[in-house]
Amino acid sequence: MADAVAIKDRGAAAVKKSEGKFSLSNLSQETLVFATTIVIFAACALFVNGFATLPNISTLARSVSVLGILGVGMTVVVIGRGLDLSQVAVLAICAAWSLKLIGLGYGLAAGIAMGLGLAVAIGAFNGFAISIIGIPALFTTLASGTLVYGVGRWLMLDGIITYAPENQPFLLALGQGELLGIPVPLVIFAVVAMIGHLILSRTSAGRFVYAFGDNAEAARLTGVSVRVLTIGQYAFSAAVAFLAGLVTAGSVASINTNVFSSSLIFDVLLIVVLGGVSLSGGRGSIASVLAGTALIGTLLNAMILLDVQGDVQNIVKSVVLLGAITLDRKLHPRDEETARQGDL
């Protein structure tokens, strides 16, 4: 009898324990990240001078918007078990080319349309190389980014920095304006995030992206036209990167192509992965990007206010990302039996 009770107790304890564990691993990463953001935000507001002021919040919003916009594009690709390292090259070259064309007198609409067209073409080419030729996404986009940057610098642009043409208030407004007191970049980020969210959660194409990311072979066998889908994802990512380029151009009235060799793409991956979009595909949402962007934006802003050196900032970011992926690996351990070959 006593034994039975003991067993029962132990059983109950086990259930309790597994419940506790269950709720922790069930807690979505973006919720965790949001909570962390709020804690850090509160701490910064309390201890960092000049953090909780309206101008600073506005600056923070502006500075993370570009990152967030890129993150939305990256998320769509990463959920589909891909990776787009060519975003920064597209951002720099296509936007700078657009500025140059507008400066040459092609007109605002034509200039933007041609830049956008080039960006979409690059994205579509990425998708083609990945889905039809079969080159891994990592190498396709690494090489195409290098190629785009190289051709842009060599044949399309005149120098490292391309300045925005005079008398184009619309262009500048993209980066510097305010709409109902909200910075325009933030508005654009919100709109892009909304569009991304609607596509991913409300359209069949969006659901197919999840299906493809979760099990590419199963998606193909079910009849999803996976090649078109992949091409579409990368085209979307490139178009979004072009938009981010215009916002960048608007905020500083120029594009510096050296951004290609900066760690911007790392920051984009940082916010995407931090928010819980798994690089092995099929997991995450736009909410993940918002969470990641909020956390990194807050951290960066606080470090800038605290006058932390750039290299130290990089170390902090890296350690945060390392912590996030280690935690992710602990919560969702890799199953060696079902792991796919070539997961990097």
Contact 226, 205 (CB under 8 A): no
Helices (H) and strands (E) in the chain, counts: 14, 4
Amino acid at residue number 261: S
C-alpha angle 95/159/101, rounded to 5°? 40
83/102 with CB nearer other proteins: 83
12/325 with CB nearer other proteins: 325
To the nearest whole angstrom, how small is the minimum distance from the Cβ of residue 160 to other proteins? Answer: 9
237/251 with CB nearer other proteins: 237
Contact 70, 270 (CB under 8 A): no
d(CA 248, CA 162): 12
d(CA 322, CA 162): 36
To the nearest whole angstrom, how small is the minimum distance from the Cβ of residue 309 to other proteins? Answer: 7
To the nearest whole angstrom, how small is the minimum distance from the Cβ of residue 202 to other proteins? Answer: 30
87/168 with CB nearer other proteins: 87
Distances in Å between the alpha carbon of 186 and those of 52, 61, 279, 325?
18, 6, 26, 28
Contact footprint for other proteins (CB under 8 A): 83, 129, 133-136, 138-140, 142-155, 261, 263, 266, 269, 273, 279-280, 309, 311-312, 314-315, 317-319, 321-322, 325-326, 329, 333-334, 336-337, 339, 341-344
To the nearest whole angstrom, how small is the minimum distance from the Cβ of residue 144 to other proteins? Answer: 6
20/323 with CB nearer other proteins: 323
User: How many other C-beta atoms can be found within 10 angstroms of the C-beta atom of residue 252?
Assistant: 14
To the nearest whole angstrom, how small is the minimum distance from the Cβ of residue 263 to other proteins? Answer: 6
